[in-house]
Structure 1
Amino acid sequence: MSGIRLAAPYLDTGADQLSFALGLPAREALAVAEVRAGGLTVQLRLLGASHQVIAGPVCETVACLPGRPGWLPEAVNEEIGGWKYRFTARIDTYPPQEFGDRAQWLREGLDGRPDALCGIFPGSPDAVTALVVESDAGVAWRTWHAYPQTRQIVTTHTRLEAR
């Protein structure tokens, strides 16, 4: 499931509004995809405020969260329910043409993939939130949050390893 045109406006309008949280309950999702990887069901959840991934004992949320200031760590390493959890994030700002090319790559590169979810928000075809499970890497996923207003793309990578 990918390339979903969303009717709901997105709530976060820049990378500085994203917060990171582990262990929040499942939030209302605009779209959901489930993928089997490393013996777990990985649930990709596209939120109006960005993304949530649920895999085994892990519930990762990267979103504009009410009552929380924007804060996105570069790295998180935790032990969760017998799993080693590793998360990294980076924010890149691009010139206009390169930003558009990268957003297009996300839309087209994930289209039709059963292990991916890509939401296109109203207002710009480059307002994209995309998630993909890396099934050849055990339990891992990547996400991208593209902000046309600031030409920023937030990229995250998460890996779970059994302890």
Structure 2
Amino acid sequence: MRKTIDTRFADSRAADLSLAYGLRPLPALGTHKVTLGGFTVELRVLGASHQVVLGDWSETVACLPDRPGALPSSEEQVVGDHVVRFAARCGHPADFAEEVSSVIAACEADPDALVVEFPGSPLAVTALSAAVVDGGVAWQTWHAYPQAGELVWTKSVVTPR
């Protein structure tokens, strides 16, 4: 699913992103709810990046006013009966436009994905895609910053303990 919005994104660079678990649902510019392997996952694009809601738990990757920017490259956390594994990387692809266009095309073709395009550039997007994995659920996200040629990728996997 692809959605174009009129709201400019609030975060302006990858270095300002932080990771938070358990925040209440924040105001979203675009949402897409999917059910995968018994899990209901709500993919949410925020003005300051993304949030994924799974039951009464959430993962938020965003520019948050009370947290310093700096995504961990990897992290593991136990949440109830589940293990959450998070990974992130930021890069400057040699062909930024081609890389982002490829992400957009793949997510547009995926019924369990959401792409939100921000004004100013068709490459200013936040994309999320969910899938079933090993008795659990996973999602990947992409945050594209065309003004800096940066692409942030995250992947989270939630499986039973």
* CA apart distance, 1:80: 0.2
Question: What pairs with 1:28-47 in structure 2 (closer than 5 Å)?
Answer: 28-47=27-46
Corresponding residue number in structure 2 for 1:145: 143
Does the aligned pair in 2 maintain the 1:57–1:81 contact within 8 Å?
Answer: no
Corresponding residue number in structure 1 for 2:159: 161
Question: What pairs with 1:34-113 in structure 2 (closer than 5 Å)?
Answer: 34-95=33-94, 98-113=95-110
* CA apart distance, 1:67: 2.8
Question: Where in structure 2 are there 5+ consecutive unaligned residues?
Answer: none
* CA apart distance, 1:38: 2.6
Q: Deviations over 1:101-128 (max 9, x none)?
A: 0111122221143200000100111111
Q: Which 4+ runs in 1 deviate beyond 4 A?
A: none
Aligned Cα root-mean-square deviation (Å): 1.3
Structure 1: distance between partners of 2:155 and 2:121: 25
Q: Deviations over 1:23-63 (max 9, x none)?
A: 11110001111111231101100101100001134300000
Structure 1: distance between partners of 2:56 and 2:120: 36
Q: Give 1:119's match in structure 2, choosing from 116, 120, 129.
A: 116
Does the aligned pair in 2 maintain the 1:57–1:80 contact within 8 Å?
Answer: no
* CA apart distance, 1:69: 1.7
Does the aligned pair in 1 maintain the 2:49–2:126 contact within 8 Å?
Answer: yes
Corresponding residue number in structure 2 for 1:129: 126
Deviation larger for 12-21 or 132-141: 132-141
Structure 1: distance between partners of 2:100 and 2:4: 14
Secondary structure in 2 matching 1:157:
strand
Question: Where in structure 1 are there 5+ consecutive unaligned residues?
Answer: none
Does the aligned pair in 1 maintain the 2:93–2:99 contact within 8 Å?
Answer: no
Normalising by structure 2, report the TM-score: 0.94
Secondary structure in 1 matching 2:70:
coil
Percent same amino acid at aligned positions?
A: 44
* CA apart distance, 1:153: 0.6
In the alignment, residue 20 of structure 1 is paired with which amino acid? L
Structure 2: distance between partners of 1:117 and 1:89: 19
* CA apart distance, 1:148: 0.5
